[in-house]
Amino acid sequence: MTVSRISCAFFAFAISVLLLSSRPYGRRDDADLNHISLHRSSLEVDPANITLNQSHDVALQFGRPDNTFNFTSSPNLVARAINYLLAICKGGQFWDDIQKAFNGQRPAGQNFGPNDFNNGWTGTQVQGGLGGLPPGWDPAFASFANGRVPNAAEVLNYQAAQNKGFRNSRGNPVENPTGARFHVLYVPSHNAMVARYVESPSNLLTSRQVPHGDIPNLIPPLHRLSDLSWYTYSQFSPNPVNLRYIGHHFITNRDTLAVIDRLLQAVYGANAQNIPWPGLRFDMNNDAAKALLATPNGVGIAYLMLDRAVVLGRRHPVVYIWNFNGFRCMLWDLVPVGS
């Protein structure tokens, strides 16, 4: 059973009405995490799908129209509010828009280069600095590379920090950086990247209780996970168009964890604390995949596909979630259509 478009439209409308009197957060997207409320609800399981029984949760608002300095097209899809049912709806909206982008029906994201990156960020490359892949990831890499796990020299640790001044969207210098960090493992030999740690500029400013209206002028123009990921991967890979695997290692975002744990527990129950690769697999015909796409750790991948659709070509993603000794992981396989 899947959530119908009519149900999604009804819930999106209802939540939009409820939220008219709420004070909005700064615009939520990709790495601007942590403002999604995913409340508990009961699951029902059938062999083909995992979906949600009727929920009466109240979702919290986040989001407002895009700021003019966004690098990506970043469309407003549905009211920026989530519980599990609305996560399915929001993820479905994302997927509809991604397919339109694959068909050339949506504008592509803007291009950017070293000058854009250097306006606020410094980056450090550490070849094999952490000894290869994180724990629990060897079987995943082996499964999509004919059994070959990359050696440490093939795993490029890239760390970027927003620790220098920049000029904001008004052209004014900003000398008080947010201290945001972006740490990703790039494995071009396997067409893959795995985020180890991401903390966005706007999330840090929000945590410091900076007024939301001031945030757009206090973050560097290039600040979203989708943009940072695409730019840096394209610097290290000889064929960035071949990017296929995007993962999140040891997820800590509580809203993403709420969705992952709900799905794992629905299938494995008390045994969900240690579910090795491949764990659970969902494609975009499944409500669970739509909900995962709408999580804080999934939405950056959604925007990357949306804004780079013309370059990447048509894809039909599938997502894996597993629990390595209490640490939850997520891997998206952006399967080329026709492969």
What does the pLDDT read at residue 5? 62
Phi, psi (deg, nearest 5) at residue 300: -65, -35
What does the pLDDT read at residue 141? 92
What does the pLDDT read at residue 9? 60
Asked if pLDDT for residue 114 goes beyond 90, the answer is: no
What does the pLDDT read at residue 211? 87
Helices (H) and strands (E) in the chain, counts: 10, 12
Instruction: Mention every residue, 6+ apart, whose C-beta is less than 8 A from residue 52.
Output: 3, 41, 42, 43, 44, 84, 85, 88, 287
- Of 187, 223, 195, 224, give the one whose Cα is nearest residue 304: 224
pLDDT-based confidence at residue 198 (cuts at 50, 70, 90): confident
- Of 233, 241, 226, 302, give the one whose Cα is nearest residue 71: 226
Helix (H, G, I), strand (E, B) or coil at 81: strand
Asked if pLDDT for residue 86 goes beyond 60, the answer is: yes
Q: Which of 54-58, 207-211, 264-268 has the lowest mean pLDDT?
A: 54-58
Kindly state the average pLDDT of the residues 254-271.
Answer: 90
